[in-house]
Amino acid sequence: MANAPFRQSLASDTPQLMAWVTYGVPYVVEQMGEAGYDAVLIDRQHGLGDQSDLINCLTAARAAGLPALVRPLSPDAGLIGSALDAGAQGVVVPLIETADDAEACVRAVKYAPKGMRSWGPYRSQLMTPHDDLDVVNAWTIACVQIETKGAVDNLEEILSLDGLDMVLVGPNDLATALTGKRDIRASEVIEACDLILKKARERNVFAAIFANDIDYAKPLFEAGWDLITVGADMSLLAGAAGEVVRTFKG
């Protein structure tokens, strides 16, 4: 089964590195696979492109051997199902506040009896046979973002949900929610991230996190987060281009 080892890789003692693609360009996905990333997230919330671009990026991910997650525009069940039908192994759902919000996302990801995902797996059936829905539900990753004060306040209830596979922490939005500033190194943010990792481990839920840069990411690798992103394609390109300009033009 294509990409079946992803869940096992997440469960290993080695943090996995996930590329974050916002351009909606298939070649960028292929480049991330060539670079050696373990997985890729295609961002539809703050990224470019339409449904056709998403399908092309997911096709490129499959060709590159990258397990692919999609962040939909919102927690809408239709958008979640559309991403999964297009071939995403899982979704990372933003704008979660309560356990009810998170439960609705899980139900949108999983087929009955665990959920209410609508039938129509036009590309996802290429990745895993859909004649056994238990196998499909086990393969598919239901992930919600922890990036609001409400999500932190309701963390225990969210992590206790049956069928929730992973949480992803967005420190930028979390910093704004907890401090009113985009200070991802504020003590409140660091403490919240540590708490989320601790509680996720207690509940056997995978813990993922976004890091703006390598310096921020290093202690996350040491702490043993399961899945870590260091910058998005836009910031990586801008950073590399800026370094060239500074080197030669000052």
- For residue 199, being part of any structural domain is answered with no
Q: Of 46, 149, 181, 218, which one is the catalytic site residue?
A: 46
pLDDT at 4 over 90: no
Report CA dihedral (62, 5, 103, 217) to the nearest 10 degrees: -90
- For residue 183, being part of any structural domain is answered with no
Q: Give the list of residues 6+ apart from residue 177 with CB closer than 8 angstroms, or none.
A: 147, 148, 149, 152
- For residue 107, being part of any structural domain is answered with yes
Across the range 219-235, mean pLDDT stands at 97
- For residue 91, being part of any structural domain is answered with yes
Q: Which two tokens stand for residue 197?
A: 């990792």
Number of compact structural domains in the chain: 1
- For residue 129, being part of any structural domain is answered with yes
pLDDT, tens only, 175-195: 999 999 999 999 999 999 999
Q: Which helix (H) or strand (E) holds 144?
A: strand 141-146
What CATH number is associated with residue 56? 3.20.20.60
Q: 80 with 96: CB under 8 angstroms?
A: no
What's the domain range around 101?
5-140+207-249
Q: What is the pLDDT of residue 130?
A: 84
Across the range 105-129, mean pLDDT stands at 94
The residue assigned the tokens 């298939």 is: 26
Q: Quick check: is 46 catalytic?
A: yes
pLDDT, tens only, 89-102: 999 999 999 999 99
Q: Which two tokens stand for residue 70?
A: 């999609």
- For residue 197, being part of any structural domain is answered with no
Q: Is 136 in a helix, a strand, or coil?
A: helix
Q: How many CB atoms sit inside 10 A of residue 89's CB? A: 26
Q: What is the pLDDT of residue 1?
A: 40
- For residue 191, being part of any structural domain is answered with no
pLDDT, tens only, 130-172: 889 999 999 999 999 999 999 999 999 999 999 999 999 999 9
pLDDT at 5 over 90: no
Between CA 118 and CA 77 the distance in angstroms is 9
- For residue 182, being part of any structural domain is answered with no
pLDDT, tens only, 63-77: 999 999 999 999 999
Q: Is 68 in a helix, a strand, or coil?
A: strand
